[in-house]
Structure 1
Amino acid sequence: MTVELTFVSADGSIHRRSGTVGESLMRAAVRTGVRGILAECGGIAACATCHCYVEPPWDQRLEPRSDMEDAMLEAALEPTEFSRLSCQISLSPALDGLVVRLPVDQI
């Protein structure tokens, strides 16, 4: 099963992609060529180069951040309450239509 995803670049351009249920948001972004999700650590929550901002109300549909994710987000540039590591977001049917914004520092 697939879910529809929208990535909004720092310059405002919109990139619509599809992800597979069970896949991480980061993997879907890398697989479909989304610029701005660098994923330097390969998805093990060790670098924060897959940092994104989850648009409300989608943020309410996600599992809470783990302590490890919180620690890594402290290293991200300009984190907000909506910051997440895309490698820690597992796609599910409840996330069909998910909208995330990409930070300017990852272009």
Structure 2
Amino acid sequence: MTSITFLSPSGATLATVQARNGESVMRAALRAGIEGIEAECGGALTCATCHVYVRDDQVASLPPPTEDELGMLDYAAAERRPGSRLSCQLVAGDDLPELTVQVPDTQY
């Protein structure tokens, strides 16, 4: 399991959610009703409406983004930052005990 803390655009904690192994951060956000994760494509890597900012000190602990994810991040509505990821591509597991992500101010 992975403990995922979701932060608002202002940095306030929205919720901390326990994600099951194999569950994407996007699915955990939808299950918990996290405002700001739209996920229009349902995790098919075709919309960039699940864009999040991974906390700087946790970026290196994640697998690097694929070329497809990097390409889709070009279409994200909010500013792209070094920690920008698509939450549909981040997967919970025992190798990732905790993760903190910030929801951007817009997905459109």
Q: TM-score range by the shorter chain?
A: over 0.9
Task: Summarize the alignment of residues 1-107 of structure 1 with structure 2, pairs less than 5 Å apart.
Answer: 2-14=1-13, 15-76=15-76, 77-106=78-107
Per-residue CA deviation, residues 11-55 of structure 1 (Å, 9 max, x unaligned), is 332111111011111011101111111100000110000000000
| More displaced stretch, 73-82 vs 10-19 | 10-19
Structure 1: where are the runs of 5+ without partners?
none
Aligned-partner SS, 1:53: strand
Per-residue CA deviation, residues 68-98 of structure 1 (Å, 9 max, x unaligned), is 1011100112011110000001111222221
Normalising by structure 2, report the TM-score.
0.91
Question: What is the aligned-residue RMSD (CA, Å)?
Answer: 1.4
Aligned-partner SS, 2:72: helix
| More displaced stretch, 56-65 vs 21-30 | 56-65
Runs of 4+ with deviation above 3 angstroms: none
Normalising by structure 1, report the TM-score.
0.92
Q: Matched residues in 2 for 1:34 and 1:40: separation?
A: 14
Is the 1:58–1:95 contact (alpha carbons within 8 Å) kept by the matching residues of 2? no
Structure 2: where are the runs of 5+ without partners?
none
